[in-house]
Chains A and B, each alone.
Chain A
Amino acid sequence: MMTHKDMLATDRQYFDLAMPEALAPLLEVVDRFAADAEHSKRGPALSPEQRSQLLERLQELDLPGLLLAAEDELVADAPLTLFLIAETLAAVCPELAWRGLAPITAAAVARLAGTVYPTSHVQALQLDLFIEQGTGRGRQWLALSPWPAPASTGALVLDWQAAQVLGPLTAAELQTGWKHETKTGLLGFAGACQQTLRAADIPGRLQPQQWTPATADNARRWLWGLHGGLLCGVQRAQLRHGMDYAKTRQAFGKPIYQHQAISLRLADMALAADASRLYLLQTLTDQDAACREAGGGSFIVETAHQLARDAVQIAAAHGYVDGLPFKRLFEQARTLAMLFASLTATPGGE
């Protein structure tokens, strides 16, 4: 099977990508962790020590620096680079990838809206992305956060429907002016949370900043880059583990991949994963914003569901319970697919 490095090299040529050279050390780090993780029975689930080591290495690499070149300038092709970084990291540890990259994405989107967030604050502030949900019950925001609690967390509030950005808000402002309605976990990401916030009494300081269509599309590209990359990384992991399992698990006297039901399923998974990944990359580079508008991501979401379902099916009951990576990847794929879908859902209230 193609390694991640080979795949990225092909992408570079195929899409004529100008990827920052600084990506090379990141790939090395991630590949090394992927190789270590593959030796363990639990697949890519990193040990707590490996996680903190990886996080340290990523901080040393200055990821924000890779994507946000200067205080007020975004690196060209950054959403695509973000996609590739997210995918590479998520193929090893989706949780870490989301946590590591969400604040950078939030800072980038804030910057697009004309609010400069010093890159040095990005790691510390742990920004959330808040996406508005039209419910007819007043204005309400859905907060999708890879972190457990918002106590030290600022928020970037996006009014997706009106293509406005409200905020960013500091943690203190968030605590005083907003009503937290619900707070629940997100499947597959221990500690991550989803909150519905009501802003009936938003403090007056919030000055909605109207986006131009071009800015709104740019913001969408960043979010697609992040969430699309995370999804594709999870799919790489599902394919790799599916293939590995099918080669080792025996039924009726032979490895199960020699049963056509399994080999055809694996082939279908590979077809769907590659097709939707190329489509995603293409939409990230396409100048025509229409392909990123409402409903444009449904194919990507469908593919994510297909791979999640089929990877578990290959391992059957062993995939349905904790132990092998399949259950966790199924849960993570679902959450990431939902996040992606919420970015492209058709807005209500026509």
Chain B
Amino acid sequence: MKLDRQRLWEAIRADDREGAAAIDRLIAELPGYVMATDKTGDIDSALLEGFGIDRVNRFMIPVEYGGSALTATALRRTLVFERIGAICPGLCIGLPGPGLSMPPVLSLGTEDQRRAFFARFIGAGRPVWGAFAISEPAVGSDATALTTTATADGEEYLINGEKCFITNGGRSDVIVVFASVDRKRGRFGIRAFMVDATTPGFAHVRNEDMLGLRGSQLAQLSFTDCRVHKTAMLGHDGSKGPTIDAFTGAQSAWDYMRPVLTSVIIGSCAGALEYAGSLLAGPERDSLSLSGRAAAADKLGSYRQRLQAARMLAYRAAWRYDRGERASLDASMAKAYASTLAMQLAQDLMQLFPLQALAADGRLAKFYRDAKAYDILEGTGDMQRLMIARAYDFAGRRTA
């Protein structure tokens, strides 16, 4: 695949001038909010108010439902989110918009459900978040074993259970919740429901104190006899429910999001490498010997190459997704490779610049804390590798 990133970037900006202006503003202003957000987990409302917020809300929404052309294809999303991730991955993941809740609605929802769901994010004049809630205290990698239930009660369902580690969960207007309508049926009993955060029985229990990515706020949510109409079930048209389980929707969310997340990771690595380069060029280099400086420069060079390889994996996953092909394998490969790379880079930067890395609130320390999350969220590195081992084209046959 031949790709001129700069030309493509210019071309997509021309497709959505207002969106591009919003991105420019974000890129210009975000750096001023990074450290404060890292401390509190909250994004200062000054960043989110006023000009451009409606554009930001639309970033992950398909164009046909009023979304931004800037993020209309997977390849475009990789370009946009690498730029924001380079400033702060936590803030990038914490930005308003539907996030991971979008793809299940797109792949499982009825046309009416899609329109109603996406309309929440358009023209609200304020930041609007959505969340995707599948993980539970006792269930993570093996999400098919989830225990949250949705019990039919006339025209309604009663949702009961606990969800944890939900990105942006505490500030979301709407949450796509995965629950079982029949636990005996295992994964085949799982359905996804759109739950409005004002629904009685829904509660935001707390935000976790997490190591890094703090701007993206991990929330614990609880559902106690949380009553929703049957049409809140994705794929329910009012008379009958979907014939397929909601896991296809969850998988579509991961296929959609993993190339995006990989780009955020790549961005954060590129930002860290740039910073490390500036340390080598600035007065801080005096704390290294001449041979130490040469070795550090070599090491940074090798990481730049590996980062480019990670980019190519992300682009391939995006390209396949845009062609409508199954992209699970490519998405897992991109995410696993970039996550491992990020943690290695973080460790090596600690060792190359120990004196600069000591400060708890310093740039390198933050990168180190953020980087540890990549191998966990949206499926651990182990789960990605199991998927790669199963589906990689070892024998000329591709299964995902």
Contacts and interface: CB of A to CB of B under 8 A. Distances in A.
A187 interface: yes
B336 to A, nearest CB: 12
Nearest to A347: B289
B351 interface: yes
Interface string B161-196: 000110000000000000000000000000000000
Interface in A165-189: 182, 184-187
Contacts of A35: none
Interface stretch (A133-141, A201-209, A284-292): A133-141
Interface stretch (A4-12, A55-63, A273-281, A336-344): A336-344
Interface stretch (B197-205, B224-232, B251-259, B368-376): B368-376
B351 A142 contact: no
A321 B218 contact: yes
A313 B350 contact: no
A186 B360 CA distance: 5
B343 to A, nearest CB: 6
Interface in B347-377: 347, 350-351, 354-355, 357-362, 365, 368-369, 372-373, 375-377
Interface in A315-350: 316-317, 319-323, 327, 330-331, 334-335, 337-339, 341-342, 345-350
Contacts of B324: none
B283 A137 contact: yes
A185 B351 contact: no
A138 to B, nearest CB: 11
B117 to A, nearest CB: 26
Interface string B253-292: 0000000000000000000000000000001111111111
Contacts of B153: none
Interface in A258-316: 259, 261-262, 298, 301-302, 305, 309, 312-313, 316
B15 interface: no
Contacts of B381: 313
Nearest to A137: B283
B208 A321 contact: yes
Interface in A123-166: 133-137, 142, 144
B289 A320 contact: no
Given A194-B359, A341-B351, A320 B141 contact: no
B115 interface: no
Contacts of B362: 184
Nearest to A340: B354
Contacts of B112: none
Nearest to A261: B382
B211 A349 contact: no
A330 B286 contact: no
Query: What band does the interface of chain A fall in when counting residues whose beta carbon is under 8 Å from B?
Result: 35 or more
A137 to B, nearest CB: 6
B209 A322 contact: yes
A116 interface: no
B138 interface: yes
Contacts of B290: 350
A338 B357 contact: yes
Nearest to B288: A348
Contacts of A323: 208
Contacts of B357: 338
A250 B142 CA distance: 9
A327 B354 CA distance: 21
A345 B287 contact: yes
A261 B369 CA distance: 23
Contacts of B141: 251-252, 316
B326 interface: no
Contact of B360 (A187, A320, A341, A345): A187
Interface in B55-109: none
A233 B342 CA distance: 27
B385 interface: yes
B140 A331 contact: no
Nearest to B347: A305
B135 interface: yes
A158 to B, nearest CB: 14
A20 to B, nearest CB: 33
A85 B358 CA distance: 25
Contact of B142 (A136, A251, A321): A251
Contacts of A262: 382
Which of B209, B368, B375 has the largest number of chain A CB atoms within 10 A? B368
B110 interface: no
Nearest to A349: B286
A50 B368 CA distance: 31
B380 interface: yes
A194 B358 contact: yes
B210 interface: yes
B350 A338 contact: yes
A184 B135 contact: no
Nearest to B377: A317
Contact of B372 (A259, A309, A342, A345): A309
Interface string B152-166: 000000000000110
A320 B375 CA distance: 11
Nearest to B381: A313
A317 B376 contact: yes
A261 B359 CA distance: 33
Interface in B207-243: 208-212, 218
A348 B359 CA distance: 20
A316 B140 contact: yes
Contact of B365 (A187, A251, A313): A187
B89 to A, nearest CB: 14
Contacts of A316: 140-141, 376, 380
A67 to B, nearest CB: 26
Contact of A321 (B210, B285, B354, B375): B210
A342 B376 contact: no
A182 B355 CA distance: 13
13 contacts: A137-B286, A184-B359, A194-B358, A317-B164, A317-B218, A320-B373, A321-B209, A342-B354, A342-B358, A346-B291, A348-B286, A348-B288, A348-B292
Interface of B: 135, 138, 140-142, 145, 164-165, 208-212, 218, 283-292, 343, 347, 350-351, 354-355, 357-362, 365, 368-369, 372-373, 375-377, 380-382, 385-386
Given A133-B355, A135-B284, A144-B358, 18 more contacts: A136-B286, A182-B359, A185-B361, A194-B358, A250-B138, A261-B382, A261-B386, A301-B351, A309-B343, A316-B140, A320-B373, A322-B208, A323-B208, A338-B357, A338-B358, A342-B355, A346-B288, A346-B289
